[in-house]
Structure 1
Amino acid sequence: MEGNLSKALWLGVTILLFIAVVTVGLSLFGGMKDVSSMANTQVGAIAQSMIEEEFRMYDGKEVKGDDVLSAINAYAGRSGEIIILVSTLGKGGTPVNIDLTNATSVNISSFTPYISDTNGTLSIDERCIILSSTDETLLKSKSKNLVDAARRDCESPNMTSKYINPSGKFMAQLIYDSNMKIRGIAFAQKS
């Protein structure tokens, strides 16, 4: 009888220890879940910041045509993700003002789109160029052949309206969507 009582006592103690360990584990898990969620949010913000950092060199800067051509070549593989809009002075074109300190509006038809296409419109809000669209798709992918053909056209002096002079001066601005995510770069040749 004493053996059965001893076994029952040990079984009871074991069950209580098991419940205590599970309770401690669950409370630690609950606390770590919040920490993990916060860490994921911060990692996401850092990742987005790193993605946007590659575009910062164009943010409100004056660049040479060679930099414009480099950007088109560098982002050529990201069709549907970003757009590069370029306005040149070819064929007597008029300069497009994208200096956000004094520009009030930007007409997207003044630009030639590279890398991606869009049916969207450009507006200026709080010193940012905003690309918005009534379509669900803000940017539309172009085929590799179309992207490559556009790249060749902008490098050919024979294509006067699309030619990007490597020594020309351009004003660069980042293009954002309505969520303030960088969606591209606008380049406008200066007179």
Structure 2
Amino acid sequence: MGNAQKALVMAAGIFLAIALITIAVVMFVSAQEATKTAQENFSNIQNELSSTSFTVYDNTTISGSQVVNALRKFDNRQQFGIRVYTGRNKATGGTWYNHVVDNSGNVTAGAVTALDNASNQALDTYINPSGRFTATIIRDGNNVVHALQFVQN
């Protein structure tokens, strides 16, 4: 075997090694992008699933018994409040349960009402089970649900 032939075989080997390294790098970069996209999609799905329990309350009309069920369901949830305007307490700004939340979704200081007061007919906080309420969701700037609001029709 001559020197020229050895040089060609060596050059072909080097070329093949460079080609294999290039293919490996391209595959790694594309796999990295696919992983990032999959991670973002998973995060979006996780956010959607976490807010599905609130979709029933998104600009819908529900009964007073459903309002009471929502109060029980979300009672003692961290950083979450429920505001109820009944026919008797609309003028006074409604009643907060669990936490008081502003329109930006921030928990603020303020008086909250005990869940038992929703079933006491003698109080302004009484929620009539057969009453009709318009439900809305209060979200913060990041589109995270922080409160529900129910207004009696």
TM-score computed with the length of structure 2 as normaliser: 0.75
| Identical counterparts, % of pairs | 25
- Give, in angstroms, the shift of residue 94 of structure 1: 4.3
Counterpart contact for 1:117–1:141, Cα < 8 Å:
yes
Equivalent AA in structure 1 for residue 96 of structure 2:
P
Partner of 1:116: 99
Residues 14-41 of structure 1 show CA distances to partners (whole Å, capped at 9, x for unaligned) of xx86x87665444322211111111111
Secondary structure of 1:55's counterpart equals helix
CA distance in 2, matches of 1:22, 1:74: 57
Partner of 1:104: none
Counterpart contact for 1:79–1:141, Cα < 8 Å:
no
- Give, in angstroms, the shift of residue 156 of structure 1: 2.2
1:146-185, aligned counterparts within 5 Å? 150-158=114-122, 160-185=123-148
Structure 2 spans left out of the alignment, 5+ residues: 1-12
Counterpart contact for 1:79–1:140, Cα < 8 Å:
no
Equivalent AA in structure 2 for residue 86 of structure 1:
V
Counterpart contact for 1:58–1:174, Cα < 8 Å:
yes
Partner of 1:75: 74
Structure number with greater Rg is 2
Aligned partner of 2:85 among 87, 101, 106: 87
Secondary structure of 2:129's counterpart equals coil
Equivalent AA in structure 2 for residue 35 of structure 1:
A
Residues 130-149 of structure 1 show CA distances to partners (whole Å, capped at 9, x for unaligned) of x227xxxx12599xxx98x6
Structure 1 residues 76 and 21: alpha-carbon distance in aligned structure 2, compared to 1, 3 A threshold: farther
Aligned residues: 142
Partner of 2:151: 188
Residues 44-87 of structure 1 show CA distances to partners (whole Å, capped at 9, x for unaligned) of 1111112222211111111111000101111114221x221111
TM-score computed with the length of structure 1 as normaliser: 0.61
Secondary structure of 1:68's counterpart equals helix
Q: CA RMSD in A?
A: 3.1
Structure 1 spans left out of the alignment, 5+ residues: 1-12, 96-108, 121-130
CA distance in 1, matches of 2:22, 2:40: 27
Is 1:139 matched with 2:107?
yes
